[in-house]
Amino acid sequence: MQGPRVALSLSSPGVSAAAITALEGVFRALGFESCERREASVQGFLEELAGFRERLDAHGGPVGCALVALVAPSGQLQPQQLIRELSPCGALQGCPKVFLLLSSGPGATLEPGAFLTGLRELCSRSPHWSLVQLLTELFHRVAEESTGSGCCPVLHSSLRGSLCLGGAEPWRPELAPSPSTQYDLSGARAALLLAVIRGRPGAQHDVEALGGLCQALGFETTLRTDPTAQAFQEELTQFRERLDTRGGAVSCVLVALMAHGGPRGQLLGADGQEAQPEVLVRELSHCRVLRGRPKVLLLQACRGGNRDAGVGPTVIPWYRRWLRAPPVIPSHADVLQIQTDAQGSFSGGPSSESADQADILTVYAATEGCVAYRDEKGSDFIQTLVEVLRAHPGGDLLELLTEVNRRVCEQDVLGPDCDEPRKACLEIRSSLQRRLCLQA
């Protein structure tokens, strides 16, 4: 990160002074020496963000990192619309953008709680940790402190690199995590691969590559090809029932769903009918034997029809090296979004509203509304994922997925209906509460 770190705090009326003070403590712990602070109605947040973007562009010069904290009653924020407001900012192109979304239940006064207190303390004590690792540790602590609240925080990431706000030197050796913060994978592992092959050239290569990886990592793997929309649901239900009735502990599961995607992110079965990914994820979260165990879901499917041209210089590709032009970056890259409750650990997302949603890692091959690319050799996402995990099977999975995203973001793709290069970007959603390493 080269350049200043800028921060903006937007809060709706009724937020306590103690909550604002706690936020300012977090900013200082993360290395943000100054912060704009504004109070506005939730409807005015978009206008405030537009003004923030204009001030950054008028400043002239790159920004090292941007942090935006949005504090409002639960259910009133529209995060994707707010995040998109900063996408055109030239000063923020290629730099990490962190969004902290804090909310509260109906009628509750927004006060500082376990999340903000813990975040400030961890940032001060462990500045050498990447922010994603730090948040995973924080999720674990908050869950322990809020036992019985039925809530969990979640992060969404499209970062292309490890974000360490403590300024640790890149050559500094990584400190070993505490054993209590790492998932125990000594029990059985199970994987379910559901793939529509028909009408998806290259999909068979993804199935073979992912199946070989699962075998190498010790997963008992079940493969079903060309499932109908109904079969997607039935296979998930049967998979859950088998796990609940088998003898012995299950320490980790991996589910891969590979199919065409609909215009609103639906999965299309071999029969052309729709299956909702959120319903399938919820089915897995109800598995009793998997409570407190990591659940990894991979979704290789389009989530809409948008083809991202990216942001950056418009230079003919073979001139880029000669001109030393910076690469074009996907429009949705470099964003880290954290949703939680100011008092504790509630995530305001519609699919992350209870403790059943804890310990889940979901990886989408495309961001919301965008195309996921695949050709006769397979998909960019699955092939890159297998390559990275085979090379570093013992690494922290969240950090490895960031590397996968970096490589996917660097690729230029020519789709079947466009002559200009297009970009792709993963979306990583995590409510993991411990470090996850698939190979000890």
Convert the pLDDT of each residue in 202-259 to its tens digit: 999 999 999 999 999 999 999 999 999 999 999 999 999 999 998 788 999 999 999 9
Convert the pLDDT of each residue in 85-103 to its tens digit: 888 888 888 899 999 998 7
With beta carbons less than 8 A apart as the criterion, state whether 372 and 100 touch. Answer: no
Strands annotated E in 41-119: 65-71, 97-103
Listed range (12-26, 248-262, 309-323, 328-342) with the worst mean pLDDT? 309-323
Rounded to an integer, what is the distance from CA 166 to the centroid of its chain? Answer: 21
Distance CA 61, CA 249 (A): 55
> Mean of the per-residue pLDDT values for the chain?
85
| pLDDT on residue 254 | 97
Domain 5-157 has CATH 3.40.50.1460: yes
Distance CA 5, CA 35 (A): 9
59: annotated active-site residue: no
Q: Is residue 327 pLDDT above 80, yes or no?
A: no
302: annotated active-site residue: yes
Q: Is residue 146 pLDDT above 70, yes or no?
A: no
| pLDDT on residue 347 | 38
| pLDDT on residue 343 | 52
| pLDDT on residue 147 | 54
List every span in the chain annotated with CATH 3.40.50.1460.
Answer: 5-157, 182-314+358-430
Distance CA 102, CA 339 (A): 6
Residue of 46, 98, 33 whose CA lies nearest to 72 = 46
Residue of 243, 203, 245 whose CA lies nearest to 225 = 203
The catalytically annotated residue of 89, 252, 302, 437 is 302
- Its CATH class, for the domain covering 182-314+358-430, is alpha beta
Q: Report phi then psi at 335, rounded to 5.
A: -115, 130
The catalytically annotated residue of 152, 260, 332, 437 is 260
| pLDDT on residue 124 | 80
DSSP 306-342: B-B--BS----HHHHHHHTPPPPB-TT-SEEEEEEES
| pLDDT on residue 313 | 58
